[in-house]
């Protein structure tokens, strides 16, 4: 009964989030996705030809990939990115904290907006008005922060989205047909050409974004840390330009994709400072 109730509350909160901020951008993403999918299916593309021949495997796979990309988009967009809910250091933790080397990086900052203790790597997002653990960036396209809890899902979403876009690009190109005059060519291919342009631009953007994120994940650095190194106290104290959280590419990728739960970055920081990789 309690589980049902908490499920209902969670569902209600998700719907409330959907209609609060970002409704327009989410609706735009969804409408754009399905309009382009419809254009690809109604023109004489590879998908349409497969359908007409009764070979439904490829069109169904494409459709399912589009559905998966939309589901992942909504999951990343509506998920808690890792908001800081309460002070992390309790009186009982002070004893273990005193074991760490005393420096300014040991003392947790208090956010000037939500007045909560900020764990190391957390940052206040002015758009969400909350502090986010292991803050990466605020993404206007998902209208949500990317942080400790949804970063791996964000990268997975980018992978699925890129795959969908590249497939859509191939399908759109297969539907462009020649015509006797420019006028009849535009009349026959206008919508397909528009879809091709949108898909082409998004493919380029998502490729660059995915490449940057994979690189930063491999060195265990966030976009915020990479862009604003000089403004971050715990990075200013580092001797070289490396990420103080870097444990080697394979370990970083494993931790990022396979290890769930909040990480005490202060401990990783001090461990790495004592035993540099």
Please compute, for residue 4, the number of CA atoms within 13 A of its CA located in the half-sphere on the CB side.
Answer: 1
Smallest separation (angstroms) from Zn ion to the CB of 145? 3
Residue 145 binds Zn ion (CB under 5 A): yes
Of the candidates 12, 90, 2, 48, the one whose C-alpha atom is nearest the C-alpha of residue 174 is 48
CB-nearer residue toward Zn ion: 133 or 270: 133
d(CA 207, CA 212): 9
Least distance in angstroms from the C-beta of 180 to Zn ion:
53
> Backbone dihedral region of 43: left (phi > 0), alpha (psi from -120 to 50 degrees) or beta?
beta
Taking the least distance from each CB to Zn ion, the nearer of 129 and 258 is 129
**Residues from 79 through 138 that contact Zn ion (CB under 5 A):** 111, 113-114, 124-125, 127-128, 131, 138
Q: Which is nearer to Zn ion, 1 or 86 (CB)?
A: 86
**To the nearest whole angstrom, how small is the minimum distance from the Cβ of residue 270 to Zn ion?**
24
CB of 271 to Zn ion, least distance (A): 27
Tell me which residue has tokens 């939500």. 114
* Residue (82 or 175) nearer to Zn ion, CB: 82
SS3 at position 161: helix
Which of the stretches 99-107, 144-152, 225-233, 239-247 binds Zn ion when contact is defined by CB under 5 A?
144-152
Task: Return the number of the residue (118 or 272) whose C-beta is nearest Zn ion.
Answer: 118
Q: How far is the CB of 122 from Zn ion (least distance, A)?
A: 8
Least distance between Zn ion and beta carbon 118 (Å): 7
What single DSSP character describes residue 235?
Answer: H
Of the candidates 125, 131, 139, 221, the residue annotated as catalytic is 139
Take residue 97 and report the two structure tokens written for it. 């904290």
Smaller CB separation from Zn ion, 132 or 268 = 132
Count of chain residues binding Zn ion (CB under 5 A): 10
Q: Is 66 a residue that touches Zn ion (CB under 5 A)?
A: no
Bridge-based pairing state of the strands 144-146 and 137-139: antiparallel
Q: Give catalytic status of residue 125 as yes or no.
A: no
Q: Which of 244, 241, 263, 266 is nearest to 254 (CA)?
A: 263
Segment 43-51 long-range contacts (CB within 8 Å, at least 24 positions apart): 43/175, 43/189, 43/191, 43/192, 44/175, 44/177, 45/171, 45/172, 45/174, 45/175, 45/192, 46/170, 46/171, 46/174, 46/175, 47/171, 48/175
SS3 string, 32-74, reads HHHHHHHHHHHCCCHHHHHHHCCCCHHHHHHHHHHHHHHHHHH
Collapsed DSSP state (helix, strand, coil) of residue 79? coil
Catalytic residues: 139
Binding site for Zn ion (CB under 5 A): 111, 113-114, 124-125, 127-128, 131, 138, 145
């Amino acid at each position: 009964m309690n589980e049902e109730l908490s499920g209902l509350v969670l569902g209600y909160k998700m719907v409330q989030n959907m209609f609060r901020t970002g409704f327009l951008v989410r609706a735009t993403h969804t409408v754009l996705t399905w309009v382009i999918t419809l254009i690809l299916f109604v023109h004489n593309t590879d998908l349409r030809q497969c359908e007409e021949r009764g070979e439904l495997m490829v069109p169904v796979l494409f459709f399912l990939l589009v559905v998966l990309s939309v589901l992942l988009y909504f999951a990343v967009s509506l998920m808690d990115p890792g908001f800081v809910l309460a002070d992390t250091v309790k009186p009982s933790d002070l004893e273990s904290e005193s074991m760490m080397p005393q420096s300014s990086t040991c003392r947790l900052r208090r956010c000037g907006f939500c007045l909560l203790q900020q764990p190391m790597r957390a940052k206040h997002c002015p758009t969400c008005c909350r502090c986010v653990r292991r803050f990466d960036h605020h993404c206007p396209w998902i209208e949500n922060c990317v942080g400790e809890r949804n970063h791996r899902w964000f990268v997975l979403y980018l992978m699925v989205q890129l795959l969908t876009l590249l497939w859509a690009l191939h399908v759109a190109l297969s539907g462009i047909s020649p015509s006797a005059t420019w006028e009849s060519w535009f009349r026959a291919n206008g919508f397909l050409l528009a879809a091709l342009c949108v898909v082409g631009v998004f493919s380029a953007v998502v490729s660059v974004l995915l490449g940057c994120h994979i690189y930063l994940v491999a060195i265990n650095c966030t976009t915020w840390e990479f862009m604003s190194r000089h403004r971050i106290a715990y990075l200013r104290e580092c001797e070289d330009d490396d990420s103080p959280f870097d444990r080697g590419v394979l370990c970083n990728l494993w931790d990022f994709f396979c290890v769930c739960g909040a990480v005490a970055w202060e401990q990783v920081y001090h461990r790495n400072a004592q035993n540099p990789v």
